[in-house]
Structure 1
Amino acid sequence: MTILVTGGAGFIGANFVLDWLAQSDEPVVNLDKLTYAGNLENLKALQGDARHFFVRGDIGDRELVAALLAQHRPRAVISFAAESHVDRSIHGPGEFIQTNIVGTFHLLECVCAHYAALADAERQAFRFLHVSTDEVYGSLAANDPPFTESNPYQPNSPYSASKAASDHLVRAYHHTYGLPVLTTNCSNNYGPYQFPEKLIPLMIHNALAGKPLPIYGDGQQIRDWLYVGDHCAAIRRVLKAGKLGEVYNIGGWNEMPNLTIVHTLCDLLDAARPKAAGSYRDQIAYVTDRPGHDRRYAIDARKIARELGWRPAETFATGIKKTVQWYLENAGWVADVTSGAYRQWTEQNYGKRA
């Protein structure tokens, strides 16, 4: 018994692999291209662990993917591989189209051919789980109900449009070719090993470095925040018991404006790593909002609770405290991933908005 994980050196993928092997002896074949956000340091704890077989490669490389499927004969493929940052998709949408749409197509083609050749018992057990985002649903007004699995797709950025397209491909391969698929759409994740371009790790990194804490617009964009460990537990549950062809929304039931998140982080850092003078809140700087910025996301996670019995274990208060503590204790990891290229990109994205 083996599973194949794509994108397993990235933020959510690495947390999933680490959690999986902490709870199971079932081996993981981990395929990751190791772009800027894919980092083998995330998997350092598994060095020398025979249960973890890492392969550097692209989901769009059909020859490689087909060879891995033939060699390891996984009972499931869990696909995290994606370009995932809205700001980067605005500056360079091409990579998002190539990875999230074309890459997913090539992966599905390989998996579909592999599935068709399996013996009956293996076919019955096989699953393809596609990890997606709540951003495919678009933006909510202040009084709109949270997104359910039946919400129409209304993506507003190149990133979310590319993920919406990949979701549609996965659905089509189920209905057309009978591939046993499952899809999850999650809300904003946070936790250990998140590359510091996303809000929470960026604010922690900038605060400790004495840099401005850039807030888009008025900072009142609302997101539903999900601790990454809870997300991993939900994926394991969907893989085990999810109904084929179904979509499951995974959320933390934690709607909060971005500015409140930043204030919370500043207050936690003030307590854990106080400045010589003043508060980290003094570093907050409002910058021009990004184009097409969705105002609010919120996930209705009642379906997965009702049908599969999953609910988040962490509140935002407990999850964010764990997250801040992890970044404080892993300054070396942050220093390693914040290369010159990363610093150049943050200047490109935020410098002209001041």
Structure 2
Amino acid sequence: MIIVTGGAGFIGANFVLDWLRDCDEPIVNVDNLTYAGNAETLAPLAGDPRHIFSQVDICDRAAIDALFVTYRPHAILHFAAESHVDRSINGPAEFVQTNVVGTFTLLEAARAYWNGLAGDEKAAFRFLHVSTDEVFGSLNPTDPAFNEHTAYAPNSPYSASKAASDHFVRAYHHTYGLPTLTTNCSNNYGPYQFPEKLIPLTIINAIGGKKLPVYGDGKNVRDWLYVTDHCAAIRTVLQKGVPGETYNIGGWNEQANIDVVHTLCRTLDELRPSASGTAYAAQIEFVKDRPGHDRRYAIDATRIERELGWRPAETFETGIRKTVLWYLEHPEWVAGVTSGSYRHWMETHYAGTV
């Protein structure tokens, strides 16, 4: 038995679905079902006794303690987080609460549970914390990619809250001996991603005949990681990772945002041509840049390949094509998440695109 937090969110849900597709070990899925947590994503698991869903706030210590006592997991995988930079700029307090206080609460509960274990059970337990490359700050065009020894330099309330959570995880290993593992990943994309993020937003707006908003000059660079590759990497770290260590997970796919949007437009031109016959790229619109927008992220994923044997299976081209096809084939899921509150958020951040 393992516990997964945030298992109704984008990456967490993909992890849960992949895990239960590939093995029979049960999962306790802990999610508070905030705006980005979608129970519909977990519909394929309805009636599956291996999937135990618990709607719990990770800041609720008593509820978390009860889950440990009831299910006695050998690992907790911590995906739950507020994760959108724009939202953190407008409302940083929620990010401190979920990402910092929530992680602290989980660490305290895990430490108490782990201290009560003995022998092989205690030796086998793991606390795996899923983090981001944004904690490392911004790179210049010629700077080397982030590695596991890069100094932290977060530039947004979101990345600052994740950096704080990373530091707590590290401290709990070094101070208390809790067997922790931390992963820092690059930008994920793929099925079930909430459409506030660049790739699903572009797909949904394009086929809806709306503007395709691109921040600033569109030349901000990110490393792109297909979500199922990320899930495979996390399973590898859980199985083979050394307690107390961190592992960078990247896709070896640096792309400027404007290039990502053009790739999506070309793919949609092929797979779902517009009714007018006009190329989707005609819908691109540059909008005011976000405050403090980091220019470039890049992940050096050499260590996880060298020490644990993981490397991404998807190229950017294959992953993008799979992603576009998934959104085209799942209009009901898209309609379910693009609610009134989502449209209000879109109007706030991308005026004129809704």
Does TM, scored on the shorter chain, surpass 0.5?
Answer: yes
Does the 8 Å contact 1:287/1:353 carry over to 2? no
1:165-180 to 2 correspondences below 5 Å: 165-180=164-179
SS at match of 2:155: coil
- Name the residue aligned to 1:318: 318
- Structure 1 stretches of 4+ with a deviation exceeding 6 A read none
- Name the residue aligned to 2:144: 145
Q: Which amino acid aligns with 1:32?
A: D
Aligned counterparts of 1:352 and 1:61: Cα–Cα separation in 2: 39
- Name the residue aligned to 1:331: 331
1:346 counterpart = 2:346: yes
Aligned counterparts of 2:58 and 2:177: Cα–Cα separation in 1: 21
1:120 deviates by 1.8
- Name the residue aligned to 2:288: 288
SS at match of 1:49: coil
Aligned counterparts of 1:22 and 1:77: Cα–Cα separation in 2: 19
SS at match of 1:336: helix
- Name the residue aligned to 2:57: 58
RMSD value over aligned CA atoms? 1.1
SS at match of 1:248: strand
Deviations 1:114-146 (A, max 9, x none): 000012211000000000000000000000000
Q: Which amino acid aligns with 1:310?
A: W
| Residues matched between the structures, number | 353
1:303 counterpart = 2:300: no
Aligned counterparts of 2:122 and 2:41: Cα–Cα separation in 1: 33
- Name the residue aligned to 1:68: 67
The percentage of aligned residue pairs carrying the same residue is: 68
1:352 deviates by 8.3
Does the 8 Å contact 1:223/1:297 carry over to 2? yes
SS at match of 1:351: coil
Deviations 1:76-117 (A, max 9, x none): 000000000001101111100000001111111111000000
1:350 deviates by 1.5
Aligned counterparts of 1:183 and 1:17: Cα–Cα separation in 2: 18
1:14 counterpart = 2:13: yes
Does the 8 Å contact 2:211/2:353 carry over to 1? no
1:79-228 to 2 correspondences below 5 Å: 79-228=78-227
Aligned counterparts of 2:222 and 2:299: Cα–Cα separation in 1: 9
1:277 deviates by 2.8
SS at match of 1:130: strand
Q: Which segment drifts farther, 157-166 or 206-215? A: 206-215
TM-score normalised to structure 1 length: 0.99
- Name the residue aligned to 1:33: 32
SS at match of 2:251: coil
Aligned counterparts of 1:333 and 1:353: Cα–Cα separation in 2: 20
Aligned counterparts of 1:151 and 1:127: Cα–Cα separation in 2: 24
Aligned counterparts of 2:182 and 2:103: Cα–Cα separation in 1: 13
- Name the residue aligned to 1:43: 42
1:353 deviates by 11
SS at match of 2:327: helix
1:349 deviates by 1.0
Q: 1:151 to 1:353 in 2, by over 3 A?
A: farther
Q: Which amino acid aligns with 2:20?
A: L
Aligned counterparts of 2:71 and 2:297: Cα–Cα separation in 1: 39
Deviations 1:165-191 (A, max 9, x none): 000000000001110000000000000
Aligned counterparts of 2:24 and 2:106: Cα–Cα separation in 1: 26
Aligned counterparts of 1:182 and 1:172: Cα–Cα separation in 2: 12
Q: Which runs of 5+ in 2 are unaligned?
A: none
TM-score normalised to structure 2 length: 0.99
1:351 deviates by 1.3
Q: Which runs of 5+ in 1 are unaligned?
A: none
- Name the residue aligned to 1:232: 231
